[in-house]
Amino acid sequence: MVRAVTGALDAHRRAFDDDGVVLYAGTNTMSPRARAAHRAAVSTRPSMGWPGDKFQAGLDHLDVLETLAPLRMAALMEGEYAEVRLQSATLANLACYTALARPGDTVAVLPEAAGGHASHHAQGAAGVRGLRVADLPYDDAAFNVDLERLPAFLGRERPAIVVIGGSLMLFPHDVGAVRAACDEVGATLVYDASHVAGLIAGGRFQRPLAEGAHVLTMSTYKSFGGPPGAAIVTRDAGLAERLSAAAYPGLTANYDAARLAPLAVTAAELAETGPAYADACLANARALAGELRSAGFTVAAAGLGCTVSHHVAVDASAFGGGDPAARALAAAGIYLSGIGLPGGPSGEPMRGLRIGTQEVTRHGFGPRHMPAVAGLMARALLKGEDPAAVRADTVALRHSIGEARAAG
């Protein structure tokens, strides 16, 4: 049995970490220093309460982590307070719903076809909290919130919370305009930066808290590149207190304190290298979008320049939708996922393929490698080549970049 488990782990590591071209937007690889700071043994040491005021005695050393990690995260994301104990962004969003709304209240969120995440919707955390979910008015052509229809919509729906930010973020939101509309109805504005947190940390894309979001929630393991988990950041002391009470003792007792060391290390690294990393992610996305178009793919938002983030979306209707296309690419050693795209009939299966450049950027891919990546995708999807043949070349590309890096 143990051998079956370790064998599966090794095979997974080979497929993704050694051989794969990972374009899945919701993942990353941690830096060597962050990885070295992860101590599995800490995970089973419960730590409940505030540093210096714990339920358990003798946790002075963990107090160091529990102080440094939130301070670093708050500073990096331009807030004053960070809650870092929650194990996932789904729980971070649930903490917002718990702290900022009551069952029966309305939360207004991005439609699912426009990147609204399950945790924003009735089947996810919003439904768990008993909230009524209303889709924000959306401008399909602009890939963004419809600001003209927003004030009347908010006046009608009277949400307690408005959530912007989602699972496909090609363009920034006009946070200031959304906040102004929220202020008219007393709604709290939450910006879910799960996907774009690494760009924001690098000072790119947008500055949600400076632009007016009351609260920023985020995954720490997607573009941010840290350990799995979440952060909630705000500038407002009163909100911070309510959100932390929702996190503990609301939604957690023990949590995995081992996460906090790699999180603090990742935040410290991004404070230095974040701008260059974010720029490289953006350059790769721009280059890949262009190469995919040249190769014959239909790239979403082409009329708007395709993307200003690390995301690219491809219309996969011609391949039966995003899921079958992603499976065909996985057989070719290229890992990504389907995604909904705005503008289709309601209830349509995921029409798009979503690409994120954060992990290949960390592996040393640059714009000069994007013709090869687009070429492999074209062979697997447009030309219908044998996936095993394409996979051999995918692995060769990945290894060539690893070896070029190792050679300095």
Ligand X SMILES: *Cc1c(COP(=O)(O)O)cnc(C)c1O
Residues that bind ligand X (CB under 6 A): 26, 88-90, 117, 119, 165-167, 192, 194-195, 219, 230
Q: Least distance (Å) from ligand X to the CB of residue 52?
A: 28
Alpha-carbon span 335 to 319, nearest angstrom:
16
b/e sequence 357-366, b meaning 16+ C-beta within 10 Å = bbbbbbbebe
Q: Least distance (Å) from ligand X to the CB of residue 335?
A: 16
Q: Least distance (Å) from ligand X to the CB of residue 285?
A: 16
Q: Least distance (Å) from ligand X to the CB of residue 195?
A: 5
Q: Least distance (Å) from ligand X to the CB of residue 117?
A: 4
Q: Least distance (Å) from ligand X to the CB of residue 219?
A: 4
Nearest CB to ligand X, comparing residues 85 and 117: 117
Contact 367, 385 (CB under 8 A): no
Nearest CB to ligand X, comparing residues 165 and 225: 165
Alpha helices in 136-259 (DSSP H): 150-157, 175-185, 197-201, 208-211, 237-245
Nearest CB to ligand X, comparing residues 108 and 397: 108
Nearest CB to ligand X, comparing residues 195 and 379: 195
3 state SS of 42: helix
Q: Least distance (Å) from ligand X to the CB of residue 196?
A: 9
Q: What tokens does 168 get? A: 């496909």
Nearest CB to ligand X, comparing residues 167 and 206: 167
Phi and psi at 256, nearest 5°, equal -90, 90
3-state helix, strand, coil in the chain (%, to 5): 50, 15, 35
- The angle subtended at Cα 170 by Cα 168 and Cα 173, nearest 5°, is 95
Helix pair 260-295, 60-76: axis angle to 10 deg: 30
Alpha-carbon span 6 to 4, nearest angstrom:
6
Contact 354, 338 (CB under 8 A): yes
H or E element in which residue 59 lies: none
Q: What is the DSSP string of 270-332?
A: HHHHHHHHHHHHHHHHHHHHHHHHHHT--BTTGGGTS-SSSEEEEE-GGGTSHHHHHHHHHHT
Contact 399, 19 (CB under 8 A): yes
167 burial level (CB within 10 Å; 0-12, 13-18, 19+): buried
Q: Would you put residue 282 in left (φ > 0), alpha (ψ -120 to 50) or beta?
A: alpha
Nearest CB to ligand X, comparing residues 259 and 362: 259
Q: Least distance (Å) from ligand X to the CB of residue 231?
A: 10
Nearest CB to ligand X, comparing residues 169 and 334: 169
Q: Least distance (Å) from ligand X to the CB of residue 331?
A: 25
**Strand-pair category, 53-54 with 81-83:** unpaired
Q: Least distance (Å) from ligand X to the CB of residue 239?
A: 19
Nearest CB to ligand X, comparing residues 27 and 31: 27
Nearest CB to ligand X, comparing residues 119 and 266: 119
Nearest CB to ligand X, comparing residues 194 and 234: 194
